[in-house]
Amino acid sequence: MTTVHEPAAAAVTSAELSVWPASTTETLPGDLSVAGVSLASVAERFGTPVYVLDEAEVRDRCRTYRDAFPDAEVLYAAKAFLCRAVAHWMAEEGLGLDVCSAGELELAVTTGFPPERIVLHGNAKSPRDLETALRLRVGRIVVDSPSEIARLAAAVGRDARQKVMVRVVPGISAGGHEKIRTGTDDQKFGLSIADGYAQHAIARILDQPQLELTGLHCHLGSQITSVKPYLVAVRRMVGLMARLYEHHGLILPELDLGGGHGIAYRPGEKALDLTALARKVRAELAEACATASIPVPRLLIEPGRAIVGPAGVALYHVLSVKHTGEHTFVAVDGGMSDNPRPALYGVRYAPRLIGRASTAAPARVTVVGRHCEAGDVLATDVALPADVRPGDVLAVPVAGAYHVSMASGYNLVGRPPVAAVRDGHARLLIRRESMEDIRSRDVGL
């Protein structure tokens, strides 16, 4: 094990806690608590892997968005993480929902979420997706391809109307990884301004009396930490709105700028400045609309990761420590089945030993998962105490988004539970997937 020549910290520093929920404290040496609940006690009570979500942190982040964008409609991007409790929190905090499937939609509505505050997305919506959206009377459907227009109009029927938006590709490259950049013309989402497909689709929608076009939508990508791409998007989207007014006399009342707001996963990393984003986007929108002589549309934004990501912590038990040449591998009881993001996007985390105090010097290690894949790596070249050993508990912050929502059944290990913490209490939101759950789906014998 390669030892780092720096003193072992006696206590957690404020810099280290910068990417943890705001309620995180070191109650005992080596033990962290979130919302007054010991993380080590959560691991003991619910087993590991287990995900912990700070309810107050989620709610505070919802309010921060509403305060920053008081005149906008804030839609929580459910694909980041959705369960009945989260849908309930969003409803209580006054947010809408952005969903991508009939499953997300039905879970939200059957929980009591108002369907008129829900927007349905998807580059390839299934017949079930559209049928469910119309049956539950979803607020808006975002048209993503020309083929959806006739299908949707036919499904609506003659005596009804459905509000729709058109997803436009503004030709902007932004995002933390090439696989999560969605604002360019060379990917599967939306209709391009450059080749005229967006304009053609809008003209077709205007010919369908069953469809009411309320606005334009764009989404540039994910994990964006700069305000500039959003300002470029505003100018290009307003330019299209101006041309629609010139050619069709059409004034659209809504403009959805999507989400993709970047957060810090490790101390010192950059995050999107929400205050600057809100101020500059409003100013850019007002100026662009004044120049084009069109009314300022109402903004919609769709944060997901930025609301739940920093509120979540993943807990694992160490299963083994292996020294191979110059490398040390610390294997835990989870991995790519509950967090595929490092394998997909090369995401880097800052795991920490909890549950016991260690005076050992930090050492560089690679934290790996339990699955039969060389790419099953959770954290590369990170510092952990040199005496880390089987049975220890590791905590990974910034785990609230795109972990459980992307979890798989690989190796049939079962998806992890999710517990919420608040005011010194922990409660289960999603139970652990059991072998009985897995067996019950297997009906082929």
Supply the DSSP string of 220-289, one letter for each residue: -BSSB--SHHHHHHHHHHHHHHHHHHHHH-----EEE----B---SSTT-----HHHHHHHHHHHHHHHH
- Work out the pLDDT band at 157, boundaries 50, 70, 90: confident
Mean pLDDT of the chain: 92
Structure tokens at 425: 């209490």
Say whether 83 sits in a helix, a strand or coil.
coil
Across 258-278, average pLDDT: 95
d(CA 62, CA 310): 12
Q: Would you mind telling me the total number of residues written for the chain in this entry?
A: 445
Contacts (Cβ under 8 Å, ≥6 apart) of 444: none
- Work out the pLDDT band at 159, boundaries 50, 70, 90: confident
d(CA 120, CA 164): 9
Per CATH, 16-54+310-441 and 69-303 having the same topology is answered: no
- Work out the pLDDT band at 13, boundaries 50, 70, 90: confident
Structure tokens at 350: 């800052």
- Give the pLDDT score at 186: 59
For the chain, give the percent of residues with pLDDT over 90.
Answer: 82
If phi over 0 gives left and psi between -120 and 50 gives alpha, with beta otherwise, what is residue 430?
beta
List the chain domain ranges.
16-54+310-441, 69-303
**What pTM value is reported for the model?**
0.93
328-338: per-residue pLDDT in tens? 999 999 999 99
Alpha-carbon separation of residue 139 from 36, 118, 142, 341 (angstroms)? 38, 5, 10, 31
In sign, the C-alpha dihedral spanning 414, 344, 335, 108 is: negative
Known catalytic membership, residue 62 = no
Structure tokens at 137: 């009377």
E strand or H helix that includes residue 66: helix 55-68
- Work out the pLDDT band at 38, boundaries 50, 70, 90: very high
CATH superfamily of 69-303: Alanine racemase (3.20.20.10)
- Give the pLDDT score at 11: 67
Q: How many CB atoms lie within 10 A of CB 21?
A: 25
Across 274-293, average pLDDT: 96
Chain centroid to Cα 143, Å, comes to: 21
- Give the pLDDT score at 187: 54
Q: 225 with 264: CB under 8 angstroms?
A: no
Contacts (Cβ under 8 Å, ≥6 apart) of 169: 183, 184, 185, 189, 190, 191, 192, 193, 194, 198, 218
Q: Which of 62, 218, 289, 372 is catalytic?
A: 372
Tell me the CATH number of domain 16-54+310-441, given options 1.10.1660.10, 2.40.37.10, 2.40.40.20, 3.30.70.20. 2.40.37.10
